[in-house]
Structure formats: structure tokens, C-alpha cells
Amino acid sequence: MTDPSPGAGYTASELLAVMSGRLLEDGQIVFAGVGIPLLAATLAQRLHAPGLTILFEGGTIGPFIVPGELPPSTNEQRCTRRANMLLTITDTLLLLQRGYVDVGFMGGAQIDIHGNLNSSFIGDPQRPTTRLPGSGGGNDIASLTRMIVAMKHEKRRFVDKVDFITSPGFLAGGESRSASGLIAGGMYRVVTDLAILGFDEASRRMRIDSLHPGVTLQQVQDNTGFELLRAPTIGATEPPSARELAVLREFDPDRLYTA
């Protein structure tokens, strides 16, 4: 991945964290994965969304992450600092099913034209080139709530059809998701280091919604393995502010997730 604006004073990961954090709204309940999602949600909580509630898959409701003590996954005690409640993993995931979660927020390894995510196999699943770690909560989160995905924008990651649907987006597009039994939720936004992408209401194909500072439509298309639709009006995102970057760096001083 290339930093879209070298000399901008922030890394691509920091850009991702800032841009996706801005999509979260005050008062929402957000089911956040470790890494960029956790950082972005914490950033939002400290800046524009103090009433944001973070849920971690490991069983934590409403924690406050301590700067400099980021957890290695969502399942360690660092995730529980000053939480409102701890509960079992199964009951935490059931909060998604019950409908209590506004936004599921994850990273992605590979995504396709309909927002399906793959974190299981690269290549033929029967004889994979690479066995990836798998679903974790991804399948459940993507099946049961509105999703924001934060990932780096590379051609090999944005493919026409994923090798394996680990976490369902709109499956084959159109009405195929709800026909499969997934009648709630769905892919909402994909945030990359180049742009913010949404999905066309009818075809459920990926669409460019807005561009990050200094990025062109062509640049986004060039880094994508399929043809992107374009929103009627393409927005331009504001660059990360000094305040946003300062808070981010306070939380991840060792650049564990934002190198």
C-alpha cells in the first residue's frame, strides 16, 4: 500500500482509523473488532461521540480503553477496563441477534463487489494457497447488523468475487442476501485509505461515495479489481485533524495497529 499523500504527516492506517471513526455517531452501540476498529471507536468516543457504547466479542459492554494498553485481541482483561458489564461470549454475540447493535465494525482481508468478506482461504478452499485465521465473530456480525469495514485499498484485496465468503455482504447482490435467510443488517460502508465506499440500493454493488484528500476517482478504480459504481455526488473527506491524530497516537504510542 502506498500512502496516498506522502508528507501528509500521517500513515495510511491512521487515515483509516480517523475516517472510519468519523462514521460513528453519538449514542450508538458499536460492536468493534480489535485493531483499527477498536482505535477508531475509542477515538470517536473521546472526540465527537462521548455516549458511544463499545461492545467487544470477548464479553465486554462499554469499556474505556487505557491509553498505551491496547489489548492483543478482544478477549483479554485489557478490554474490560472500567466496563459497565461483562458477560459470556455467546450472550454478547446474541446481542447482535437480538438487534441491540447499531454498527458492526471490523477490518477486512479481502472484499468483493457485493461486500462479501473473506478471512478464511486464499485460493481454492479445498487446496488453499493460504489458510487464514477464519471467521471469529465476523460471520455473525456481518449477518446480523449494519457493517462498517475498514481496510487498505489494494487491488488484490478488492476482488470481483472472494475465494470464500466468510462474512456475508450482499452475497450475489440484489435480494440474494435476504433470500438466504439474512433478513436484517448488511454492508453499510467500506472505509479505505483512499475513499469511502457504499453500496447501490438495488444492485448492491460497491460504489464510491467520497474521496480522501488528494485522491482521484481513477486512483481508486486502479486499486480495485472490479468496476466501481459512483455515487451521483462524490464527496471529499476532510483530512485528519491534529487533534484526531494526537488522540490516536496517545492510544497507540507503540504503533501496534497504526504503523
Partner 1 sequence: MVESYLDLRGKIASRDRSLREKVMSLEEACKLVRDGDHVALGGCTLSRTPMAMIWALIRAGRKNLTVSRSIVSTEGDLLFASGAGARIVTSWFSQGIVWGVSKVMRQYTETGRAKFEEWSHMAMGLRYRAGAMGVPFMPMRSMMGSDVAGQLDSWREMTCPFTGEKLMLVPALNPDVALVHVQRCDPYGNAQIDGLQFMDIDIPMAATRVILTTERIVSNDQIRRAPDQTKIPFFTVDAVVEVPFGSAPHECYGLYEPYFGHLDSYAEATKRDPEAGVKQYLDRHYHGPKNWAEYLGLLGIENMLDASRRGRSIHDD
Q: Which of residues 42-101 bind partner 1 (CB under 8 A)?
A: 51, 53, 57-62, 72-73, 75-90, 93-94, 96-100
Q: Cβ(186)–Cβ(141) under 8 Å?
A: no
Choices 1-9, 168-176, 193-201, 219-227; region in contact with partner 1 by CB under 8 A:
168-176
Cα separation, 31 vs 103, in Å, equals 6
Shortest distance, position 162 Cβ to partner 1, whole Å = 9
Q: Which is nearer to partner 1, 143 or 237 (CB)?
A: 143
Shortest distance, position 2 Cβ to partner 1, whole Å = 21
Q: Known catalytic residue: 175? A: no
- Within 83-213, strands assigned E span 85-86, 103-107, 110-112, 117-118, 121-122, 130-131, 146-150, 158-159, 186-191, 195-199, 206-211
Residues 6+ away with beta carbon under 8 Å from 148: 20, 23, 24, 37, 103, 104, 105, 106, 188, 189, 190, 191
Q: Does 135 bind partner 1 (CB under 8 A)?
A: yes
* Chosen residue from 10, 13, 17, 35 binding partner 1 by CB under 8 A: 35
Q: Which is nearer to partner 1, 42 or 60 (CB)?
A: 60
Residues 3-32: x where in contact with partner 1 by CB under 8 A, - otherwise, as a string: -----------------------xxxx---
Q: Does 34 bind partner 1 (CB under 8 A)?
A: yes
Count of positions on this chain that bind partner 1 (CB under 8 A): 72
DSSP bridge pairs for 158: 111
**Residue from 25, 57, 154, 238 carrying the catalytic annotation:** 57
Residue tagged 485522491 (cell numbers): 215
Shortest distance, position 69 Cβ to partner 1, whole Å = 8
DSSP bridge pairs for 85: 61
Q: Which one, of 52, 49, 30, lies nearest residue 148 by Cα?
A: 30
Q: Is 249 exposed, middle or buried (0-12, 13-18, 19+ CB in 10 A)?
A: middle
Using CB under 8 A, which residues numbered 199 to 258 contact partner 1?
A: 256-257
* Chosen residue from 21, 37, 108, 168 binding partner 1 by CB under 8 A: 168
